[in-house]
Every structure is written in C-alpha cells, then in structure tokens.
Structure 1
Amino acid sequence: MSSNQFTVASPPTDAISALKFSPDPNSTRIVVSSWDKNVYLYDLRDENGAVGEGKLLQKFEHRAPVLDVCFGETENEIYTAGLDWDVRKIDLNSSEQTVLSSHEAGVRNVVYSREHNLVISGSWDSTLHIHRPDTPPVTIPLPSKPFSLSLTATKLVVAMASRSLHIYDMKALALLTAQADSAETNGNKVEIEPWQRRESSLKFMTRCIACMPDDAGYASSSIEGRVAVEWFDPSPESQARKYAFKCHRQTAEDNVDVVYPVNALAFHPIHGTFASGGGDGVVALWDGIAKRRIRQYQKYSSSVASVAFSGDGKYLAIAVSPGFEDGKDDVPEGVVQIHVRELGETEAKGKGAK
C-alpha cells in the first residue's frame, strides 16, 4: 500500500451501494450507503485534525438495503433511497429521519440540486419524484426503469433501461415544483417533455452516469467494459466530438478478453478529469478531452462499487465490495473496504493542463 493511501476504519458489513463526499470544499466527511440496511457517516479527520483512517461518526438504520445517499443543502443533512421504497431526509444533528416521498418499488437513486433546492429520486417503478424538501413530490413517468441519475446546475441526466437517456432542464423541473401546491400537480403524474432524448452510445446496459463539473456534458459506462463521453450542445460540431472507449478488461491466458462492468464514474471538481471503477477491482483516471488514460492504480481485492472526489479535489475515495462477478453471493468478512487516496498536486490533472 502506498503511503498516500489509507483504509477507513469500521466499514459496512455488506456490499456498498454508494459513497459521497460532502460538497463543502473544507470538509472531509463522507456518507456511505450499504446493503446491510445502514447509512454510515465518517470523518476522515481524527480528533487532532489529522487526515487518516478517520472515524465513524454516526450510523442510521433503515428497514431495507439502502441503494443511494447524498448530502443536502449543508453537510448536516443527507437524503437516502432504498429497497423500502422511501426517500428519506436525515438531520445529522438530531438524527431525525423524515420520509419525504414513497415510490411503488425500490428507489435506485437520489440526488440533490443546491442551485434549485430540489430532491430528485429515480425508482424502479419507472418514475422520478421531484420536490423541494418541504413539499409533496411531483411524479414524472419514465419510459423504462432508471439506472443512474446525475445533475449539473442546469441539467438532469437520467440513464434508463433500453439504453435510453433523458436530459431535463433543471429550471423547468423547478418550475413544476413551484406549481406543486395546485390540485393539478400535487402528488399526480405530470408529463414533461425532456430537453433532449438520446440513445446511449454504448451497446449494452448503462451502469453509471456522471456529469462534467463545467456543465458541458457527461460520461456514461456500461456493463460491458466501456465508457462514452458526450456533450450537451446539440450542434453537429459538438455531437461529432462524442466517443466511446474500452476499459476494465483483462486478457486471460488464452488471449481472450475478460470484460468487467464499469460500476462507477466521478469527475474531479477542479481539473474536469474523471475516475472509473470496475468489476476488475481497478480504478483509472482519464482525461476525457485529450482521450487519454492519466493513470491506473493497483488492483483492489474485490470489485470497485463506487468512487468519489472530495469537494476540494484533494482526495479520492474508493468503495470496494463484492460485485458478485464470480457468481457467489456471500460477503466474506473483511472484503468490504473504503480506501482513500490523497492525491498529489498534479495527479488528477489532464495531459494538456498547465
């Protein structure tokens, strides 16, 4: 293990579904959701302010496995989503849990827009719930099950089954919630036309999507070891720039490629490069503009389930837990781990960056 990497103490006891840093650039807090029905809050700093294996601050039990978690307006509130069909708000100061909305199936994703003060969840009931933290949800029907959500200040990208993508205008969604007190929308399904409808550039099922921090586009990954990079701008010039590449593959003894799902993507908040994590237990950093791999880290003991950069870009957190690629569904003790890399000043810079 290199000197600039450490392992967080007291990890979850079952597979990790999501891992997020506080959006506050001065914070070293992370939240982690798990199939063990808990959400964990850690701080990488110890009592003396030193960054290391950190400490578990709080643990919040749910009724079923938790599939996603995110911070809210401040780092003292989080939102969770899971197989109990509920979207919850948790006040970290009081530990109070509030059910904000309930879907009709498991909730795969929850994201929070600080610019618009919106909580958005995507459920396997093929709907989005859009609402402010203190209002009933507006329900938007989707053509198929959502697998991943990501947003910027102006766009929400929804990756679904059947390789379809919807891109929504955040101002239009905020306007919908502003009208949510009216009888026409309150709690009902509302048809809203996406800003764009797209078909994935990848031939196989989308596993993850992540938006660029400069609001220019997004990267998406598939179960078949590929990543696509695309731009929002619908002009032919911008659309001609989109591309896809192979990754997270290993050559077996008989020269046959073993292909792994790309489970996780995260953009660096300052440099705009991105990290990918795969079922092969590998994390790589990419320069999406220069179309080059910057570096690849050592192989971890199990599948990489989630990756996240800290708000100041100094740390990369990596959640390692079984991806069940080997067909076994048990989780041996010690396999679930959270590693944090302290990044060198130029470690995540793009090839062309000054």
Structure 2
Amino acid sequence: MSYYRNSTTNSSATGISSAQGTEQDLMNDITINNPANDSISDIDFNPQQDFLFSSSSWDGTVRIWDVQQNGMPQCRAQYQHQAPVLTNRWSTDGTKVASAGCDNLVLLYDVMTQQQQQVGQHDMPVKSIRFVQCGPTSQSLLVSGSWDKTLRYWDLRQQQPAFTLQLAERVYDMDSKQKLLVVALAGKNVTVIDLNNPSQIFKQTTTPLKWQTRTVACHNEGNGFAIGSIEGRCAIQYIDQQEQRKSGFSFKCHRHQNKAPVGLNINSSSGTSTTNNNNRSSYVYSVNKICYHPIYGTFATAGGDGTFTFWDKDNRRRLKGYPSLKGPISAASFNRTGSIYAYAVSYDWSQGHMGNLPDYPNVIRLHAVKDEEVKGKKKT
C-alpha cells in the first residue's frame, strides 16, 4: 500500500498498490557490464531514435550507445572531459550530444563527424544542461545551470552566452517541458522560468519537502513538476496556485520498514535509519531520479535503495515497484516511445568519496517497459 499526503490540506489519501515486481521479472533486463571506469551520473536517450542513448560518468567520459537488433548495446563513440561529467543531453534533432561537469565546460559532440567543441563555460562545475525552445519563435538554445549560481543560455553559433540569469543558490538539477523550465537549487529553493521570456525569472519558491533536493522533472503538460529529496519523499507541484491547491501533494517512497533492502550494505549506502513512535525502524534513501513516461505522463522514481517504481500522479497511485538491485540507482531515462527504461546501478556519491568502495556494482540496464507497468487509468 502506498500513502500520499496532500501538501496543501495535510489530509491523507491511500493509493492502491499493484503487484510487486520480483527479481525474476528483471531477469530479462539487458545489462551493460562495466560501462565506465567510475559511477554513472546521467543517461539520456536520443529524441529521434529509440535505440541510441548516451551516458556520462565520473571517469570524465561521455559514451554513445547503440542498441543492436540482437538487443545488446554497443559503444558507438565516446569523448572525454578533463574532470567528472555530471550531465549530458541530446540536441533536438538527435545529431549532437552536449555535456558538462566538473571541468566547468560545456562541450558539444557531433555524432556524424565525431568532432567536439567547447560551446560554453562557467566559473564552477556545471550540474545540469537542457536544450530548450525560447521565445515566440521557439529559438533553440542550450541552457546550463552551475554551482556558480548562474543559468546561462548558449546560442551554439556564438562563443558568449546569449544571456545569463543570476540565481539565489547553486543548481542541483533542472528540467524542461514545452515552455516550462524548472531549476532546483540548494537550500530547497526552486526557480521557475517561462521560456516565452527566458531572460526573466517567472517565479521563485521553495519545495515543500523538508530536506535537500536531489532531482526534479517537469510534467509532460508543462504545467508543473515533480521534485524528490534525500529524505525518501517526492512532491507533485503545479505552477498555477489554484491547480496546486486542488492537485498538489507529496508522498513517501524509497523507504523500508525494519530492515534495509536485501543485498544493500546499509553502512556504505545512502540510507539512514530512523525510529518512529511505534519503535519501528525505517531505512530512508534518496530519490535520485524522476523520469516521466513520454506517452502516458506517468513517472518513475529511482533511489539510493537500488529500487525503481512507476507511479500515476493523476490518480495518486503506485503502479508497480521492483526489488533492490543491490546498489544505488544513480541515473535513469525513458526512450522517446517509453518502451525502454534505462537505469544505472552505481555509486550515487551520497557518502562522499570515502563511500566509493571497490565492490560497488557499475552497470547500465535496459528494462523493456510493458503497458500494464506504466499506463495509468483514466479519471472517473
């Protein structure tokens, strides 16, 4: 059973839980063993081709993967940063990959010519990038968010940023759908930007969650976002205040009663133990990634407990969850049709560099998505 709490009224509602997935259900997931020499920080699918995706790693490498007809992915190309890569995204036409990270640089790689170029730079590491369509003409720009507390828009034909926005805090994550750009910052701050007027901040607010923000993902409709934190909690938010009062809520996830997930070492993972009023221990893990299904508008959460779960926000319902993969899930992404869910099982850096133990798994897995896992029911 999954429990939700309305973030405005504080009234509780109970969602209906479907069958829990088993390890047997995951046996057919395709595994890429040792896809990098360090943990995976990001995964992104090509928006034009179902079987082409990119991954970035703390080993400083961006790799481009091609899933062959036999189902086995092959590394088609790769290029290098001079420091850990934290984020990568495909261009809208699917011909180029942009990436950024701890070398403070934004690089662009052309898949056809295999040429890379620097297209941007910050004063501190770059945590997140997105290709966005701006203004009434839907001009294509690349936007980057950094720990230097700025958001910079890049016209790939120019060396200087088209414009820069000063932010209240460091960028932890950001996402965009349609003309909505949401930037999750340190200190639980959230900056909302209407891309019809990208040089101005539309709204500044704070997340209703108690602890540090980890991930954010915009609703497909471009009218709000889901945000997750290190406390094993997710909130569904809407830009319009009336819609927020009606439909906004938060819920607990990636938590386990009495014991840590089987095979996950509690002493070296992201989990923390708490005791409730009934003297029952709960192991609480970070929500590391939220991804929306591109067709149905349902979403997946992946966490430090090594599990991923599919949810229906419109009906406040848990659709299906899976057992722990014996290591944190650090990154995830749906392909453009939602038929594949890619997830990386690797260290999520929740315990700093001292927690990056040699025995941590380091794999990317591809899960064939079934409609019954991700298709929500229509509201009645």
Q: Name the TM-score, length of structure 1 as normaliser.
A: 0.88
Greater shift, 3-12 or 277-286, is seen at 3-12
Q: 1:208 aligns with which of 191, 195, 215?
A: 215
Aligned with 2:374 (options 341, 348, 353): 348
Aligned length: 330
**Matches of 2:72 and 2:357, distance apart in 1:** 22
Q: What one-letter code is carried by the residue in structure 2 that aligns with 1:243?
A: F
Indicate conservation of the 8 Å contact 1:281/1:320, yes or no: yes
Aligned to 1:222: 229
Residue in structure 2 matched with residue 79 of structure 1 by the alignment:
98
**1:106 pairs with 2:125:** yes
Shift of 1:252: 2.6
Superposition pairs for residues 217-256 of structure 1, below 5 Å? Answer: 217-234=224-241, 236-253=242-259, 255-256=280-281
**How large is the Cα RMSD of the aligned pairs?**
1.9
Look up the equivalent residue of 2:123 and give its one-letter code: E
Q: Quote how far apart the aligned CAs of 1:330 are.
A: 3.1
Deviation at 1:270, TM superposition (A): 0.5
The answer to whether structure 1 residue 18 and structure 2 residue 42 are counterparts is yes
Amino acid at match of 1:252: N
**Counterparts of 1:250 and 1:324 in 2: how far apart (Å)?**
20
Tell me, in whole angstroms, the C-alpha distance in 2 between the residues paired with 1:171 and 1:249.
39
Name the aligned partner's letter for residue 140 of structure 1.
Answer: L
CA distance in structure 1 between the partners assigned to 2:177 and 2:239 by the alignment: 11
Aligned-residue sequence identity (percent) comes to: 30
Distance 2:359 2:182 in 1: 36
**1 CA distance for matches of 2:233 and 2:211?**
9
Distance in 1 separating the partners of 2:351 and 2:229: 18
TM-score w.r.t. structure 2 length?
A: 0.83
Aligned position for 1:154: 179
Contact 2:86/2:102 (<8 A) preserved: yes
Deviation sequence 1:274-302 (CA, Å, 0-9, x none): 00000000000000111111000121121
SS of alignment partner, residue 196 of structure 2: helix
Distance (whole Å) between structure 1 residues aligned to residue 169 and residue 77 of structure 2: 36
Among 304, 309, 313, the alignment partner of 1:288 is 313
**Aligned residue for 1:5?**
29
Q: Output the CA distance in 2 between the equivalents of 1:333 and 1:98.
A: 36
8 Å Cα contact 1:118/1:131 also seen in 2 = yes
2:108 to 85, 89, 112: 89
Q: Specify the alignment match of 1:120 in structure 2.
A: 143
Once residues 316 and 108 of structure 2 are traced to their aligned partners in structure 1, the CA distance between those partners, rounded to angstroms, is: 39
* Match 1:271 to one of 284, 291, 296: 296
1:62 aligns with 2:69: no
The question of whether the paired residues in 2 share the 8 Å contact of 1:294 and 1:351 is answered with no
Matching residue's letter, 1:151: S
Q: What residue number does 2:205 align with? A: 198
Say which of 341, 354, 361 aligns to 1:335.
361
Runs of 4+ in 1 over 4 A off after TM superposition: 324-328
1:108-138 CA-to-partner distances (Å, cap 9, x unmatched) read: 1111125531100000000011122112212
- Give the gaps of 5 or more residues in structure 1: 177-191
Partner of 2:274: none
CA distance in 2, matches of 1:56, 1:291: 39
